[in-house]
Amino acid sequence: MRPGRLDRIVYVPLPDAPTRREIFAIQFRDVPVAPDVSLEELVARTHKYSGAEITAVCREAGLLALQDDIEARSVQARHFEAALHAVTPRIPDSLIQSYLSYQQRQSGLCFF
């Protein structure tokens, strides 16, 4: 927030469903997932997750698969289920409301 850093404060909202789907698709390029993994269910269950948290879910699921079997060929739905319990959304509604209130008071906040 010091002068000379950025000319504007940029608020990047939490990803919507299509964006979450794309984040998972990008993660799935590097992680082989089993046929029992439902992309649509993961998208629905990660409402209020940030992009970083979705990435963390994928990494955690991969690590859980390797803990089960070091030679695992794919990440199964049960690994994602456990990962969703381990990685929870951390951005409270109150913080989002704070950003929205600030945006209404200031003209320097950009929304993308």
- Output the six-digit token pair for 40: 């649509």
pTM: 0.82
* Nearest-10 crossing angle of helices 77-86, 51-68: 130
DSSP string of 85-105, one letter each residue = HHS-----HHHHHHHHHHHHH
pLDDT score, position 103? 73
Question: pLDDT digit string (tens) for 3-35?
Answer: 666 666 677 889 999 999 999 999 999 889 999
CA pair distance 42, 54, nearest whole angstrom: 9
The size of the chain, in residues, is 112
Q: Indicate the pLDDT class of residue 48, thresholds 50, 70 and 90.
A: very high
What domains are there in the chain, each with its CATH number?
17-107 (1.10.8.60)
Q: What is the CA radius of gyration of the chain?
A: 17
Which 3 state secondary structure label does DSSP give 109? strand
